[in-house]
């Protein structure tokens, strides 16, 4: 009977472990439905502590002024905006995975999209903190909102890239949140249906918006997913483009660069994927989801990392070339002295950026490295360090020595509250992430069932039985089949 | 056409009652609107929709009630309005700034009864309205929190208040009576006031054997003694730098701290302004040991050791053909002396040599040089003499000896502080202890007052009547501009009372001047004008007697020239000898050369640094490392048996073997122990921790005080000390977009060079003519009406900083304290950028540029389009304006400002914040005590009510003094005439500038000064960073140097 069996091995299965539909539900909902582990508590309390420190840092800054940070008259933006751009960049992978990969029908995305989207939302929340709290008078921050007001004809300045940021980020956040939440609905309904405790039934019932799993629901759900994917795809590209306008539309050498939009988007995807890697490598281990988030996922994402890392590298070299080619004295100074010169006061940051972002990801040209969990985790951290320095290099090394040498200063080191604010956003991020991993399924249960080739697997399993039979037995069985 | 009737139910078809009933009701169920018909609407139990209304209203009401509780501050109008005084309208009173002998005629701007700003008196032919940083800052001294508020008796338990002057006078009378005939000595600074002098002599006449000693901490006794020998007059002639085509200064900082710098700066600038049609300028040689402010403006500088001062003078004398043999000097120095001599001889009668030395012999030789070059009678004017320094060092020395010998019964100290400024303060202190009666007339309990037995508070000059005769025949009157703030009494009143004259000084003064001027009207006119001057400027020479020259030449020839390290002690432009030490504005004013604030320090040469610490400032890598960190090495200087620990700053332009330390810092009360230290209360809150006292390093050479120490050693320590500098990078890196300079020769040869360069750079974008329109994609808008513009002449700017302080005072610019300056949180709206060029290892090659930098009020301002809330925007008059209330503090504008002139309120510097009690805190960004002091109710009286005090978290910057512009416009409008600049509008910086480097006005007015300036100087005119197309409204006039070449950038690329 061996002739009956033919299996193509072009692609490895997206979900390993020969899962049945029920197994999937059980595996993924286990952390949601069981009590949190010790590890979860430790992590959660740690995250809360960081968040608390962050809140205290912001309290100091709001009460005593921005002087609580070590930025100065020349370097008006330091860690604050560096962190902002960094977090925004991290918030790019989620939407890219859920939207663009959905449109490109990349089946593997289902294993990682839920966590990546959650990460996006939390990262955007963290990012948003910086432009808000870096304001000298945060309580007047609502001035940036364009609403009919009692202040006569006073409107925000639509020429300002900072105002574009407000719109870009709030739009991005809204669409990402909607996308993430609509995807969650079927799973929330599953949890509701499986819930034994009353409060759980109520809580998830409210969250599930009355999802009944009817065909109509599914049809609308999928249509909405496509619409939102269509909406978010341009957003993925536009948000960081607009963030880059903060710099590109200025007059400061090192900021005033037309290459910024594509360069920022590539960098954002680069750092976003690195962050997804960091988180998922931990999550799959801790939540025992290795069979859903497989080495294949890691491999694929590493390919994206090496691609975007190289794009970013090209951008760096282009910048240098243009700085030379333009023969603009000030631009030349910003690049050759402030950055490339290792011995200038902040020159070292350029080299950290270069080595972390351009050189080290090249290791992923090797399949063995791409498929190594340890290497991937290490690299994902390195990439995010590198991307932090990229923003630091762009922001600080451009302004600390710009046009008028009399005003040159240096941004020595952040104050404790500046660091505290940054750590606080980590606290916020992980608090959210821990809550998310406890109360929501980190993998899209409903969606992953779509890519489960269960009938094929069943067929294969049956083939095994058939193979063991003699043709007579088989014929007999067939003849007596109902 | 038939209308078909469609029905959905039988009820509809038949029109049954139940159908009708159900179709009238929108909702199937009863809506919870209870009893709407039975009761009135007000009795409803909040139906659903109303609930939302109530919720909204109550939330809003609660928010309003909670947030709108604004404390009621009552403004009480005058019941009887004083004549000639309208609330909100400033009055200007002519009066006189005096401090330690210095005299500057000024106008005090008085708003609602309190002086808030000093302006120069333009009626004075000497200063023509110029001021200095110290003059500008003196208004803050009036409101100093450390001022002594009542007469006191100093006891071992500290000062004990004496309730009234009568009681005080009785105590003094008692003490005077028990002196037993021992003489009374009045110790004062140089007295320029004719009435005070008369009162002193009346007092002395009443007290047999008593005498008056004048003591100047920065004495000119060497010069006066030399003049006595050469001209028979123990006096200082008036110098006429305006008549000098060649100026040779042997270490005289005549633009900064030497004699009458405001007047000299005005005169000097006359020769520095360039007429483009006939470009000529004076030639300024400076021979000095360290780079002084004046040296910064010199065309040729040559450095020498302090011990070579005599040799340089001799060499110059020999070179101009005098009776001396030139001593051996280094090649460069010899070359410099010969060049200077050649210039001087080539411009006979139009040259001037001045020396800052306090050495009789040096000054005798200088007199001889001036004689040889025909300066006597032209640039050295003996027609009037300068009276601001009259003290003779030896007089004070003998007083100290007398005190110690117990020969003095009573010492009345007025306006001096020898315990702080004298080289041998211990001796003076011992003498004070031995004196039975010591009375100090002072505005605070300074070092000397603390050791006196009685102290009587002296009024500030803005509270006083008085007069001053800075130069003989040139009087300046003083009138009170505010009722005395404290229980003060003028020195003169005390003397009158104690000599048995019951006339008050006010009346005495009035009688004196009415008598002198002949009529009350003349007196009133004089008071109004503030100055009384001879109708024809007095000029003339004096008979020279060279008898003593040979002796001086011999003395100088035999002087040993040092070989080791030498120390020179100098004065800072902001501090002088420290009379205004507790002035946060002055303490925060960056030194013109070092740009350091709040401290003094030892300046050493880059060569010394290379030798000692292997730190090469010409190497960019090492220079970067050195300059970006405020922590500087601390060294211990051993000079003449005394030790002084100071941080070190490395600056080019100082002689390679010279260390320079400034006086005026390091104020300290008697008790040094931390728990007992009263410096904060007695001398002031701002001086605590500000530098160390360098006066003990001066020495007495038997005739005069020397301001240098020939042989010093330096011990390295492993300590560091942070020095707050507002500018750390000293090279403009060859960025001629920012600074343009040329030599005079080049300028004569190719006057179009700058214009051509600009034209070339702008050619692709419309050229000079159309750059504004064609250099952009955006449409061009006309600029009708007024368009404000400013022109700054880099050739006239001497970097003195008067403008910066004027701006402080006019615009309520906050003081941020040393710790914040160190974090580059300085707030100056107006700063003076200082750049060096040349080889740092060769001090002679170092050239200095001063570039006043303020908001350029760009017509295409990069700060304006990046503000998300339009808090900074452009006025129709070309002002880049800030709406502070709208600012949310994103700092984007500051980042995008190419000139970096925007200043952010990093903390609650002014107490204007909406958060209460957030000025005093610890940890990061802790504010210095001086900031808190500036927020004292007393100190806040100096605030200009026309300018809002900015809250924490908002951006601020130069406004072109928009409040002054508005006032000027209104004035013109009320008088129904067009605006006249110079009469109606002048910015504070422009008014304060002693050299008229700043011109401001309406560029759309064809007759305005600014227009003339721009049209008259097309060849030097440039805009900083013009090619950015930000279209600044401030233009600069390039610096022209009367020298051979412009030095190269200071660091290697």
B1025·A399 Cβ contact <8 A: no
pLDDT of B48: 62
Domain containing residue B234: CATH number: 3.40.228.10
- CA nearest to A66 within chain B: B906
- CA nearest to A159 within chain B: B865
Closest residue by Cα to residue B634 from B623, B644, B645, B626: B645
The residue-averaged pLDDT of A298-311 equals 91
**Chain A residues inside the 8 Å CB shell of B60:** none
Q: Residues of A numbered 329-348 whose beta carbons fall under 8 angstroms of chain B's beta carbons: which are they?
A: 329-330, 333, 343-345
The residue-averaged pLDDT of A264-268 equals 91
Q: Are residues B868 and B961 in the same domain?
A: yes
**Chain A residues inside the 8 Å CB shell of B906:** 65-67
Q: Are residues B614 and B713 in the same domain?
A: yes
Q: Are residues B594 and B683 in the same domain?
A: yes
Judge whether B627 lies within some domain. Answer: yes
Tens digit of pLDDT for each residue in A197-212? Answer: 899 999 999 999 989 9
Sheet with B788-793, edge to edge strand ranges? B998-1002, B788-793, B1034-1037, B1021-1022
pLDDT of A103: 79
3-state secondary structure at position A257:
coil
B918·A159 Cβ contact <8 A: no
Residue A209, Ramachandran bin (φ over 0: left; ψ between -120 and 50: alpha; else beta): left
* pLDDT value at B444 more than 60: yes
Judge whether B630 lies within some domain. Answer: yes
Q: Are residues B311 and B334 in the same domain?
A: yes
The residue-averaged pLDDT of B694-722 equals 92
Q: What is the mean pLDDT of chain A?
A: 88
Tens digit of pLDDT for each residue in B43-64? Answer: 555 556 666 777 777 777 776 6
Q: Are residues B812 and B701 in the same domain?
A: no
Judge whether B55 lies within some domain. Answer: no
DSSP notation for B295-353: HHH-SEEEE--GGGHHHHHHHHHHHTT-SSPPPP--HHHHHHHHHHHHHHHHTTTSEEE
Residues whose CB is less than 8 angstroms from the CB of residue B157 and which lie 6 or more positions away in sequence, other chains included: none
* pLDDT value at B3 more than 80: no
Distance, in Å, from the CA atom of A463 to the CA atom of B94, rounded to the nearest integer, reads 113
pLDDT of B422: 93
Judge whether B436 lies within some domain. Answer: yes
Are B317 and B331 within 8 A, CB to CB? Answer: no
User: CB distance from A327 to chain B under 8 Å?
Assistant: no
A-interface mutation test, from B67, B731, B866, B1026, most A Cβ less than 10 A away: B866
Tens digit of pLDDT for each residue in B263-278? Answer: 999 999 999 999 988 8
H helix or E strand, kind and range, residue B400: helix B393-404
Q: In this predicted structure, which of A366-380, A452-466, B299-313, B464-478 has the lowest mean pLDDT?
A: A452-466
Tens digit of pLDDT for each residue in B80-105? Answer: 877 777 788 888 999 999 988 899 99
Judge whether B441 lies within some domain. Answer: yes
Phi/psi at B1034 (5° precision): -110, 125
B923·A166 Cβ contact <8 A: no
Distance, in Å, from the CA atom of B838 to the CA atom of B845, rounded to the nearest integer, reads 5
pLDDT band at residue B441 using 50, 70 and 90 as cut-offs: very high
Domain containing residue B137: CATH number: 3.40.50.740
B1025·A157 Cβ contact <8 A: no
Tens digit of pLDDT for each residue in B154-167? Answer: 988 888 999 899 99
B865·A159 Cβ contact <8 A: yes
Domain containing residue B830: CATH number: 3.30.70.20
User: CB distance from A137 to chain B under 8 Å?
Assistant: yes
Q: Are residues B667 and B795 in the same domain?
A: no
Q: In this predicted structure, which of B43-57, B308-322, B856-870 has the lowest mean pLDDT?
A: B43-57
The beta strands (E) that lie in B437-488 are given as: 437-442, 454-457, 466-471, 474-478
What total number of domains does chain B contain? Answer: 4
What is the model's pTM?
0.89
Tens digit of pLDDT for each residue in B517-559? Answer: 988 999 999 999 999 998 888 888 888 888 888 888 888 888 8
Distance, in Å, from the CA atom of B436 to the CA atom of B944, rounded to the nearest integer, reads 46
Domain containing residue B676: CATH number: 2.40.40.20
Q: Are residues B626 and B486 in the same domain?
A: no
The residue out of B658, B693, B725 marking a domain boundary is: B725
Residue B701, Ramachandran bin (φ over 0: left; ψ between -120 and 50: alpha; else beta): alpha
Distance, in Å, from the CA atom of B291 to the CA atom of B653, rounded to the nearest integer, reads 5
3-state secondary structure at position B858:
coil
Q: Are residues B771 and B713 in the same domain?
A: no
Distance, in Å, from the CA atom of B684 to the CA atom of B444, rounded to the nearest integer, reads 8
pLDDT of A48: 96
- Spell out the alpha helix ranges (H) of B27-132: 48-67
User: CB distance from A67 to chain B under 8 Å?
Assistant: yes
Tens digit of pLDDT for each residue in A230-250? Answer: 888 888 888 999 999 999 999
Q: What is the mean pLDDT of chain B?
A: 89
B924·A416 Cβ contact <8 A: yes
Chain A: give the shortest CA distance to residue B916, in Å: 9
* Residue B873, token pair as written in the block: 């925007």
pLDDT of B7: 78
The residue out of B361, B386, B411 marking a domain boundary is: B386
B887·A137 Cβ contact <8 A: yes
Judge whether B68 lies within some domain. Answer: no
Q: Are residues B819 and B954 in the same domain?
A: yes
Tens digit of pLDDT for each residue in B576-630? Answer: 999 999 999 999 999 999 999 999 999 999 999 999 999 888 888 888 888 888 8
Residue B37: CA count within 13 A, CB half-sphere: 0
B628·A410 Cβ contact <8 A: yes
3-state secondary structure at position B661:
strand
pLDDT of A36: 87
pLDDT of B64: 63
- Spell out the alpha helix ranges (H) of B143-282: 165-177, 194-206, 221-231, 261-272
Q: Are residues B339 and B452 in the same domain?
A: no
- Spell out the alpha helix ranges (H) of B105-157: 133-142
Residues comprising chain B, all counted = 1053
User: Which has the higher per-residue pLDDT, B895 or A29?
Assistant: B895
- Expressed as residue numbers, the domain containing B409 is 84-111+120-219+389-529
Are B140 and B133 within 8 A, CB to CB? Answer: no
Query: Which domains are present in chain A?
Result: 13-144+157-453 (1.20.1630.10)
The residue-averaged pLDDT of B324-346 equals 90
- CA nearest to B822 within chain A: A72
3-state secondary structure at position B906:
coil
DSSP notation for B979-1045: --BTTTB--HHHHH-TT--EEEEETTSTTSHHHHHHHH-TTTEE-TTGGG----SEEEE-EEESSS-
Chain B: give the shortest CA distance to residue A401, in Å: 10
**Chain B residues inside the 8 Å CB shell of A405:** 729, 731-733, 735, 738, 835
The single residue listed with the structure tokens 């999802």 is A211
Distance, in Å, from the CA atom of A18 to the CA atom of A23, rounded to the nearest integer, reads 9
pLDDT of B42: 53
Which residue among A65, A249, A416 places its CB closest to the CB of B952? Answer: A65
B891·A252 Cβ contact <8 A: no
Distance, in Å, from the CA atom of B893 to the CA atom of B138, rounded to the nearest integer, reads 34
Judge whether B1012 lies within some domain. Answer: yes
A160·B907 Cβ contact <8 A: no
B729·A406 Cβ contact <8 A: yes
pLDDT of A1: 47
Are B153 and B447 within 8 A, CB to CB? Answer: no
The residue out of B333, B360, B386 marking a domain boundary is: B386
Q: Are residues B378 and B397 in the same domain?
A: no
A406·B853 Cβ contact <8 A: yes
A406·B831 Cβ contact <8 A: yes
Judge whether B555 lies within some domain. Answer: no
Closest residue by Cα to residue B914 from B869, B884, B873, B882: B884
Chain A: give the shortest CA distance to residue B543, in Å: 50
pLDDT of A274: 92
B729·A408 Cβ contact <8 A: yes
Are B259 and B276 within 8 A, CB to CB? Answer: no
Dihedral over alpha carbons A427, A432, A434, A436 (to 10 degrees): -170
**Chain A residues inside the 8 Å CB shell of B729:** 401, 405-406, 408
B906·A63 Cβ contact <8 A: no
Q: Are residues B1036 and B891 in the same domain?
A: yes
User: CB distance from A407 to chain B under 8 Å?
Assistant: yes
A403·B900 Cβ contact <8 A: yes
The beta strands (E) that lie in B459-522 are given as: 466-471, 474-478
Residues whose CB is less than 8 angstroms from the CB of residue B610 and which lie 6 or more positions away in sequence, other chains included: B616, B617, B841
**Chain B residues inside the 8 Å CB shell of A143:** 868-869, 886, 888
A-interface mutation test, from B619, B722, B777, B824, most A Cβ less than 10 A away: B824
Q: Residues of A numbered 75-94 whose beta carbons fall under 8 angstroms of chain B's beta carbons: which are they?
A: 76-77
Which residue among A159, A405, A410 places its CB closest to the CB of B733? Answer: A405
Distance, in Å, from the CA atom of A206 to the CA atom of B924, rounded to the nearest integer, reads 47
């Amino acid at each position: 009977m061996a002739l009956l069996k033919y299996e193509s091995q072009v692609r490895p299965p997206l979900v390993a472990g020969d899962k049945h539909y029920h197994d999937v539900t059980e595996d993924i909902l286990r952390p949601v439905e069981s009590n949190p582990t010790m590890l979860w508590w430790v992590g959660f309390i740690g995250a809360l502590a960081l968040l608390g420190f962050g809140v205290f840092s912001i309290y100091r800054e709001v009460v005593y002024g921005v002087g609580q940070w070590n930025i100065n008259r020349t370097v008006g933006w330091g860690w604050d905006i560096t962190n902002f751009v960094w977090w925004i960049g991290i918030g790019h992978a989620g939407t890219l995975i859920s939207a663009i990969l959905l449109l490109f029908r990349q089946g593997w995305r289902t294993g990682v999209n839920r966590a990546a989207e959650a990460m996006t939302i939390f990262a955007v929340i963290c990012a948003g903190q910086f432009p808000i709290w870096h304001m000298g008078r945060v309580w007047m921050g609502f001035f940036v909102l364009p609403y009919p007001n009692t202040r006569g004809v006073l409107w925000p300045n639509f020429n300002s890239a900072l105002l574009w940021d407000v719109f870009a980020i709030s739009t991005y956040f809204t669409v990402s949140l909607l996308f993430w939440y609509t995807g969650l609905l079927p799973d929330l309904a599953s949890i509701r249906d499986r819930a034994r405790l009353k409060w759980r039934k109520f809580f998830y019932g409210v969250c599930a918006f009355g999802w009944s799993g009817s065909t109509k629901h599914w049809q609308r759900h999928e249509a909405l997913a496509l619409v939102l994917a269509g909406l978010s795809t341009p957003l993925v590209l536009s948000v960081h483009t607009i963030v880059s306008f903060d710099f590109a539309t200025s007059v400061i050498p090192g900021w005033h660069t037309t290459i910024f939009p594509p360069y920022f988007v590539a960098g954002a995807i680069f750092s976003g994927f690195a962050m997804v890697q960091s988180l998922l490598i931990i999550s799959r281990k801790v939540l025992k989801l290795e069979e859903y988030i497989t080495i294949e996922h890691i491999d694929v994402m590493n390919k994206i990392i090496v691609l975007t890392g190289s794009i970013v590298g090209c951008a760096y070299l282009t910048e240098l070339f243009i700085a030379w080619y333009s023969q603009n004295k000030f631009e030349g100074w910003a690049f050759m002295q402030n950055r490339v010169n290792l011995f200038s006061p902040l020159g070292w940051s350029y080299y950290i950026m270069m080595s972390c972002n351009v050189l080290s990801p090249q290791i992923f040209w090797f399949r063995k490295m791409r498929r190594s969990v340890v290497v991937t985790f290490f690299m994902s951290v390195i990439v995010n360090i590198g991307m932090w320095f990229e923003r630091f290099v762009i922001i600080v090394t451009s302004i600390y020595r710009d046009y008028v040498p009399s005003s040159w200063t240096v941004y020595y080191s952040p104050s404790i509250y500046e660091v505290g604010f940054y750590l606080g956003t980590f606290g916020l991020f992980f608090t959210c992430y821990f809550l998310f991993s406890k109360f929501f399924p980190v993998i899209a249960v409903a969606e992953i069932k779509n890519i489960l080739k269960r009938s094929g697997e069943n067929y294969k399993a049956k083939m095994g039985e058939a193979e063991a039979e003699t043709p007579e037995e088989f014929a007999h069985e067939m003849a007596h089949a109902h | 056409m038939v209308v078909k009737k469609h029905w959905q139910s039988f009820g509809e078809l038949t029109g049954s009652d139940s159908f009708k009933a159900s179709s009238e009701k929108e909702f199937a169920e009863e809506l919870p609107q209870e009893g709407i018909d039975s009761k009135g609407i007000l009795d409803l139990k909040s139906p659903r929709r109303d609930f939302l209304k109530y919720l909204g209203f109550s939330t809003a009401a609660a928010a309003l009630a909670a947030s709108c509780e604004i404390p009621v501050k009552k403004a009480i109008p005058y019941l009887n309005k004083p004549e000639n005084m309208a609330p909100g309208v400033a009055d200007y009173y002519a009066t006189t700034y005096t401090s330690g002998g210095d005299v500057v005629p000024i106008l005090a701007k008085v708003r609602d009864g309190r002086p808030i700003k000093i302006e120069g008196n333009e009626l004075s032919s000497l200063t023509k309205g110029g001021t200095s940083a110290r003059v500008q800052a003196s208004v803050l001294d009036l409101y100093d929190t450390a001022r002594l508020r009542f007469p006191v008796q100093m006891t071992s338990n500290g000062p004990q208040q004496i309730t009234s002057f009568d009681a005080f006078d009785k105590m003094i009378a008692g003490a005077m009576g028990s002196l037993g005939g021992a003489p009374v000595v009045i110790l004062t600074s140089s007295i320029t006031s004719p009435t005070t002098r008369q009162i002193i002599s009346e007092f002395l006449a009443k007290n047999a054997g008593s005498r008056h000693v004048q003591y100047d901490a920065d004495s000119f006794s060497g010069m006066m003694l030399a003049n006595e020998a050469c001209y028979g007059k123990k006096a200082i002639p008036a110098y006429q730098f305006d008549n000098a085509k060649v100026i040779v200064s042997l270490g005289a900082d005549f633009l900064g701290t030497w004699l009458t710098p405001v007047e000299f700066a005005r005169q000097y600038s006359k020769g520095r302004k360039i007429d483009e049609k006939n470009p000529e300028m004076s030639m300024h040689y400076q021979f000095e040991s360290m780079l002084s402010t004046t040296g910064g403006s010199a065309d040729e500088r040559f450095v020498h050791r302090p011990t070579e001062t005599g040799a340089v003078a001799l060499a110059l004398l020999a070179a101009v053909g005098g009776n001396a043999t030139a001593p051996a000097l280094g090649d460069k120095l010899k070359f410099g002396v010969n060049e200077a001599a050649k210039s001087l001889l080539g411009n006979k009668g139009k040259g001037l040599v001045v020396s800052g030395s306090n050495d009789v012999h040096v000054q005798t030789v200088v007199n001889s040089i001036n004689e040889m070059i025909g300066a006597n009678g032209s640039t050295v004017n003996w027609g009037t003499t300068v009276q601001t320094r009259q003290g003779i060092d030896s007089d004070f020395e003998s007083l100290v000896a007398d005190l110690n010998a117990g020969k003095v019964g009573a010492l009345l100290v007025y306006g001096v502080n020898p315990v702080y400024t004298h080289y041998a303060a211990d001796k003076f202190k011992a003498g004070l202890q031995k004196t039975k009666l010591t009375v100090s007339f002072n505005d605070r309990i300074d070092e000397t007052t603390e050791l006196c037995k009685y102290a009587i508070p002296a009024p500030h000059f803005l509270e006083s009547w008085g007069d001053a005769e800075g130069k003989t025949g040139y009087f300046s009157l003083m009138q009170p501009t505010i009722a005395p703030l404290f229980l003060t009494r003028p020195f003169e009143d005390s003397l009158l009372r104690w000599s048995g004259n019951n006339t008050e000084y006010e009346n005495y003064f009035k009688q004196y001047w009415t008598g002198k001027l002949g009529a009350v009207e003349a007196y009133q006119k004089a008071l109004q004008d503030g100055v009384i001057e001879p109708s024809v400027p007095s000029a003339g020479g004096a008979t020279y007697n060279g008898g003593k020259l040979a002796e001086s030449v011999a003395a100088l020839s035999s002087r040993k020239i040092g070989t080791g390290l030498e120390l020179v002690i100098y004065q800072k432009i902001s501090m002088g000898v420290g009379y205004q030490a507790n002035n946060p504005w002055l303490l925060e004013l960056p030194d013109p050369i070092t740009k350091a604030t709040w401290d003094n320090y030892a300046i050493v040469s880059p060569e010394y640094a290379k030798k000692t610490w292997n730190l090469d400032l010409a190497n960019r890598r090492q220079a970067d490392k050195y300059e970006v960190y405020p922590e500087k090495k601390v060294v211990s200087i051993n000079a003449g048996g005394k030790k002084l620990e100071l941080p070190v700053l490395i600056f080019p332009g100082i002689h390679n073997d010279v260390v320079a330390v400034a006086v005026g810092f390091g104020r300290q009360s008697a008790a040094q122990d931390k728990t007992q230290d009263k410096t904060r209360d007695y001398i002031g809150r701002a001086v605590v921790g500000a530098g160390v006292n360098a006066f003990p390093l001066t020495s007495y050479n038997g005739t005069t005080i020397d301001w240098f120490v020939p042989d010093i050693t330096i011990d390295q320590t492993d300590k560091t000390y942070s020095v707050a500098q507002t500018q750390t990078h000293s090279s403009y890196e060859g960025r001629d977009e920012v600074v343009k300079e040329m030599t005079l020769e080049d300028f004569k040869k190719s006057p179009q060079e700058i214009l051509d360069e600009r034209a070339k750079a702008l050619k692709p974008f419309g050229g000079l003519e159309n750059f504004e329109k064609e250099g952009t994609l955006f449409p061009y808008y006309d600029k009708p009406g007024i368009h404000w513009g400013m022109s700054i002449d880099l050739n006239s700017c001497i970097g003195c900083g008067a403008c910066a302080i004027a701006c402080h005072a006019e615009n309520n610019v906050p003081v941020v304290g040393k710790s914040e300056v160190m974090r580059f949180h300085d707030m100056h709206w107006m700063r003076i950028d200082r750049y060096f060029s040349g080889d740092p290892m060769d001090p002679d090659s170092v050239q200095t540029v001063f570039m006043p930098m303020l908001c350029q009020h760009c017509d295409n301002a990069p700060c304006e389009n990046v503000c998300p809330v339009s808090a900074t925007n452009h006025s129709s008059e070309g002002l880049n304006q800030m709406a502070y209330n709208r600012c949310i503090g994103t700092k984007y504008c500051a980042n995008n400002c190419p000139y970096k002139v925007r200043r952010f309120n990093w903390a609650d510097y002014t107490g204007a914040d909406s958060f209460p009690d957030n000025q005093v805190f610890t940890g990061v960004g802790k504010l210095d005590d001086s900031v808190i002091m500036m927020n004292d109710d007393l100190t806040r009286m100096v605030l200009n009510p026309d300018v809002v005090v900015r809250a924490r978290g908002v951006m601020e910057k130069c406004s072109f003094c928009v409040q002054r512009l508005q006032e000027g416009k209104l004035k013109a409008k009320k008088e129904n005439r067009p605006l006249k600049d110079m009469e109606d509008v002048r910015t504070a910086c422009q008014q304060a500038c002693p050299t008229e480097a700043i011109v401001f006005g309406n560029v759309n007015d064809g007759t305005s000064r600014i227009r003339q300036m721009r049209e008259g100087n097309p060849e030097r005119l440039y805009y900083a960073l013009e090619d950015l197309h930000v279209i600044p409204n401030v233009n600069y006039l390039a610096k022209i140097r009367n020298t051979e070449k412009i030095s190269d950038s200071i660091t290697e690329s």
